[in-house]
Structures are given as C-alpha cells and as structure tokens.
Amino acid sequence: MVPAEFLIIFSLYVLAAALVLDRLAGDPRSALHPVALAGRFIAWWGRPDRYPPRLQRAAGVLFWWMTVFLCAFLIFLFLKFAPLIVILIGAPLLLKCCFAWRSLEDHLATVTDALGKSTEAGREAVKMLVSRETSSLSYEQVLSAAYESLSENLTDSIVSPLFYYALFGLVGAVVYRAANTMDAMLGYRDERERLGWWSARADDLLNFLPARITVLFLLLYFTFRGRFSAAYRIMRRDGKKRPGFNGGIVMGAMAGGLGIRFEKPGVYAIGDAERPLPEGGYEILRAVRAVALMAALFAAGTLFLLGSWINSMGI
C-alpha cells in the first residue's frame, strides 16, 4: 500500500508541475495531444448519419459512457503499470492537457491583436472562440465575444479540471476533460442535437458546483477591488439571461465586477456599461489570473486535507 504522505506529496507535485508547464509552454498543437486523440474518437462515433434518428439519443448516452470509461481505464493503467520515472514525467503533462489557462489568454491576445489591425480581422479571429455569426459584429461586439468566451471558459478550462483533480486525482481531471470535449463537439441545437443531448446535460451537471465556486472566487477578488456589490448585483440580475445555468452567473459576476457590458446581439446583454468595454475589459486578465491562482490553492488545500483525512483513517 502506498503511504498517504507519498500520495499527498505526489499529487501536489503533479499540480505544481502542471501549472508551471502551462505557464511556460501553453497548450501545444499536436495530433498526439490527448484531447486531440479523444476528439478523433468522439468524431468517429459522433456522426448523426451513423444512426437512425430514433436511436441517436441512446447512442449518445452509450458512447458517452464508453468514452469516459476508456479514458479513465487508460489513465488507471498508466498510473498502475508505468515505471515511476515515466509517471513523474507523464502525470504533470496529462494534467496540464486537462486545463488551459495560458491558452485562454493567448486566444484573447489573438483577437485583440487582430482588432488592432481592423475590425474585419477581429471578426475572423473571434470565429475560433465562439459559435455565433461574426460577419456583422462591430468592434465592441467582437471584443465582447472574446471577453465572454474567456469568462465562460474560466470554469470549463481552469476551475473544473482542478476541482475534479483535487477530488478524484488524475482520473477525475481526464474524465472531466473528456466530458467537456464531447459537449464542445456535440452539444449543439442542430443535426447533432439528439446524439449530443446527454453530452450537453452531463457537462452542465459536472460544471454546476465548479461554476459556483468560480463565482465565489470572482466575488472574493472583486471584494478586494471594492466592486463586490456591483459584481453580486449583476450576477443576480443577469445571471439567467444566458442559456444554461452555469455560464451566465460567471459572466454576470465578471461584467459587474469590471463595470462592463457583455452583449450577444439579439440574444442577451449582461452588465451595465459603466465604462467603455476596451477600458474595463483591460482588467479581465487580472481577474482570470486571480481566480486561476485561487483555484490552484483550493485544489492544493483540498488534496492536503483529503490526504490527511485518509491518513488519519488508516485507509
């Protein structure tokens, strides 16, 4: 049996090393990236034309569970049978692939740099981040789309993976990333709706607690910035304007805390435009970095407490 003290130290090492790797290297583009490999498997079974319409919902549930089980089983085999030196190198790399802190910042920089050239260039760049039609967006609407994406993905790409790593280790983080990838690929109201209905709902359920933890972190951050009341008020007022029950509350807290307005034309407007979007939104990276650090500290604290509890129980 592995001593609890070793598990605590190992888990904290993996977390710290993964965070350092993310800040240094970002998210490398590679066909061998674990998320890309999972994506190819999802793309193989995630074609609605493979199934009769009446079987698509059932197929979506079946293959969701198959994908989750396969990812979890592969990580279990890796941790069980790989040599220790391989695990010490590979585990931080695998955890790093489950979250995307620097990548979110890089995507935002791509859009803002493009907007610096022209609004049209910004429209093209933001297509990579959002599913909305971008051809007629104004300068501020392009910027809003980029800021909305960053705010929403604060949960999906940072807090949730670290949350599930803290509770269930590397298997938990990988399973969450697989589930989130299935939602990203299939959870749309188009020809994929029947096949992806469970992927979308499972992602909502998995993000339910992390989204609210993200809001708490944002409120804590904005308390120190003297903006707690505004962040809380907009979160309560506008948090349900966006479809779904997770993304809107995070975007509301962010918009209120920054004093800016997010707008998806014809769908929703979140926040009050106390100051111009470019001016207020400039501070969004500070908020994201603060929440990411709080999420990392939360994960580290949870790992330590769970490990100590396991040790005291003699498990």
Q: What is the Cα–Cα distance from 194 to 12, expressed in whole angstroms? A: 40
117 part of a folded domain? yes
Q: Report DSSP letters for the chain, one per residue.
A: ---HHHHHHHHHHHHHHHHHHHHHH-----TT-HHHHHHHHHHHH--GGGS-GGGHHHHHHHHHHHHHHHHHHHHHHHHHHS-HHHHHHHHHHHHHTT--HHHHHHHHHHHHHHHHH-HHHHHHHHTTT--S--TT--HHHHHHHHHHHHHHHHIIIIIHHHHHHHHHHHHHHHHHHHHHHHHHHH-SSSTTHHHHHHHHHHHHHHHHHHHHHHHHHHHHHHHHTT-HHHHHHHHHHHTTTSSSSSHHHHHHHHHHHHT--EEETTTEEES--SS-HHHHHTTHHHHHHHHHHHHHHHHHHHHHHHHHHHHHHT-
Residue 229, pLDDT score = 97
Which domain covers residue 89, as residue numbers? Answer: 4-310
Residue 27, pLDDT score = 79
315 part of a folded domain? no
- Average predicted confidence (pLDDT) for the chain: 92
Check pLDDT > 70 for residue 3: no
Structure tokens of 131?
A: 């599913």
pLDDT digits (tens, 9 = 90+) for 174-230: 999 999 999 999 998 889 999 999 999 999 999 999 999 999 999 999 999 999 999
Instruction: Give the pLDDT band (50/70/90) at residue 154.
Output: very high
28 and 93 Cβ atoms separated by less than 8 Å: no
Residue 57, pLDDT score = 96
167 part of a folded domain? yes
What angle do helix axes 139-154 and 284-313 make, rounded to 10 degrees? 10
Residue 54 phi, psi dihedral angles, 5° rounding: -70, -15
198 part of a folded domain? yes
Check pLDDT > 60 for residue 315: no
Check pLDDT > 90 for residue 91: yes
136 part of a folded domain? yes
Structure tokens of 52?
A: 């009769």
21 part of a folded domain? yes
Residue 2, pLDDT score = 62
31 part of a folded domain? yes
Residue whose pair of structure tokens reads 């029947």 in the numeric block = 194
pLDDT digits (tens, 9 = 90+) for 94-143: 999 999 999 999 999 999 999 999 999 999 999 888 888 888 899 999 99
How many domains are there within the chain? 1
pLDDT digits (tens, 9 = 90+) for 18-42: 999 999 988 777 777 899 999 999 9
254 part of a folded domain? yes
Residue 314, pLDDT score = 61
Residue 313, pLDDT score = 65
pLDDT digits (tens, 9 = 90+) for 225-261: 999 999 999 999 999 998 888 999 999 999 999 999 9
Q: pTM (2 decimals)?
A: 0.94
Q: What is the Cα–Cα distance from 48 to 52, expressed in whole angstroms? A: 8
Share of the chain above pLDDT 70, in %: 97
